[in-house]
Amino acid sequence: MAALAQVFLQFFMLGLVSFGGPAAHIGYFRKKFVEQEKWLDDDAYGRLVALSQFLPGPGSSQVGFALGYRRAGVPGALAAFVGFTLPSFILLYLLATLSVDALDNPVMAAVIHGLKLLAVVVVADAVLGMSRSFCKTSLHWALAILSAAVLLVLPGLTAQLAVLGFAALVAAWQAPDATAVASGAKPRLQWLPLALLVAAVVAAVMPAHGLMHQIYADFFQAGALVFGGGHVVLPLLQETTGSLISPDRFLTGYAAAQAVPGPMFTLATFLGADLAPDSPLLGATVATLALFLPGLLLVLALYHGWEALASRPRVAAAAAGINAAVVGLLLSALYQPVFVSGVMDAADMAIVVVGFYLLRERKLPILWLIVAILAMSLARWALL
């Protein structure tokens, strides 16, 4: 129980402050669980990140789910998911059922802007730390730089999948020990999560019986089809709910989801509450769980198989290539959207530089770093 409570608390605290989207979340997780808590090393963390890149669903939440599973089994995975998702679920539910006027408050705007600057610091630190861990050869550096260059010029899901696949193929082809025989456990699937996934798919494709079943089916299908995280799910959800929710209301929910911490997939919370005005909490809960469910069940089903498979030379080399490409992905994300949406002028850049120094050189704990950056952001607002 102690381990379970620890998992929930750690992820709940991260869910309160994890602004910046999937790239920032990967940085937050690495800082917390690799460097500070030492739950796992960089190689093991890299395998989890690599797995999440090729599964549909919310990539950063899948990494968190796998971390919880690694720490405390299935209960730990659920505790990590609930802890990380709960803050944004509550905030978006309140915004959907009450008002979004709070987002226009100048003080709240300054706080949100400060947290965006925190995301710049965290992602920059993640790029530096992960590059040292995952770019150990000239080939890995070349893959990272090429990936960053391609994604800066051609942002989007197609380019992202293309560079990840290219990096995996090149690294596997160049593996010096590709003919070696791997030892250890054989890859295996977890049949219970697969059975649950099949049952969930069947429930989603059956003719809808009632509003909640329809919400479940629509959001489950969107979660099963989306690769690349929260921003990519936007067009699928817009198409799904377009005839039921006005464009203005949909964009309000999207803006609110970007303004709160945690996974972007909790946009489903806002939309589910809107779709079920007579029972908004139930609608929000069903929509949120349905959107996350496919990706999380896939993590449970494939986790052990991936861990065993990754010990094979070619697969290990391909995973190393993917991790190098992820460094490039993070580097491109550091510029767009993290830096571009956060740093507006020289004063913002000064806050980022000071924050980076406090985090990297002074080893300031993340909670105190949040306090420091928010204090600087609020002081800047007060002086305007």
Confidence (pLDDT) at 231: 56
> Contact 222/237 with Cβ under 8 angstroms?
yes
pLDDT at 189: 67
Give me the pLDDT at residue 187, please. Answer: 63
Residue 45 lies in a domain: yes
Residue 375 is predicted with a pLDDT of 94
Between 280-309 and 42-53, two packed helices, what is the crossing angle to 10 degrees? 120
Q: What angle do CA 357, 320, 366 make, to 5 degrees?
A: 25
For tokens 């996974």, the residue is 263
349 located within any domain: no
Position 359 in a domain: no
Asked if residue 66 is part of any domain, the answer here is: yes
**DSSP label of 334:** I
Is the Cβ–Cβ distance between 270 and 92 less than 8 Å? yes
Cα 336–chain centre separation: 16
Q: ω into residue 193 within 30 of 0, thus cis?
A: no
The H-assigned helical ranges of the chain are: 2-17, 21-29, 42-53, 59-97, 106-134, 138-153, 157-173, 191-205, 211-225, 230-241, 247-259, 267-275, 280-309, 313-333, 340-342, 346-360, 366-383
Domain housing 236: 1-343
Number of domains in the chain: 1
Joined together, the tokens standing for residue 355 give 């924050």
Is residue 46 one of the residues assigned to a domain? yes
Instruction: Determine, yes or no, domain membership for 203.
Output: yes
Q: Let me know if residue 370 belongs to a domain.
A: no
Which candidate, 7, 3, 2, places its Cα nearest to that of 82?
7
**Per-residue model confidence as pLDDT tens for the chain (384 residues):** 788 999 999 999 999 888 767 777 888 899 899 999 999 998 899 889 888 877 888 888 999 999 999 999 999 999 999 999 999 999 999 988 876 555 567 887 888 788 788 878 888 888 888 888 789 899 999 999 999 999 999 987 678 878 988 999 999 898 765 444 455 556 666 888 888 888 998 998 888 789 999 999 999 988 887 765 555 566 678 777 877 888 778 877 876 787 788 998 999 999 999 999 999 999 999 999 999 999 999 999 988 888 778 777 888 888 888 888 888 988 988 888 778 888 999 999 999 999 999 988 988 877 788 889 989 999 988 887
Residue keyed to tokens 């990539």: 59
DSSP class of residue 265?
A: G
Q: Is residue 96 part of a domain?
A: yes
Q: Which two tokens stand for residue 3?
A: 């381990």
User: Rounded to an integer, what distance in angstroms lies between the CA atom of residue 330 and that of residue 327?
Assistant: 5
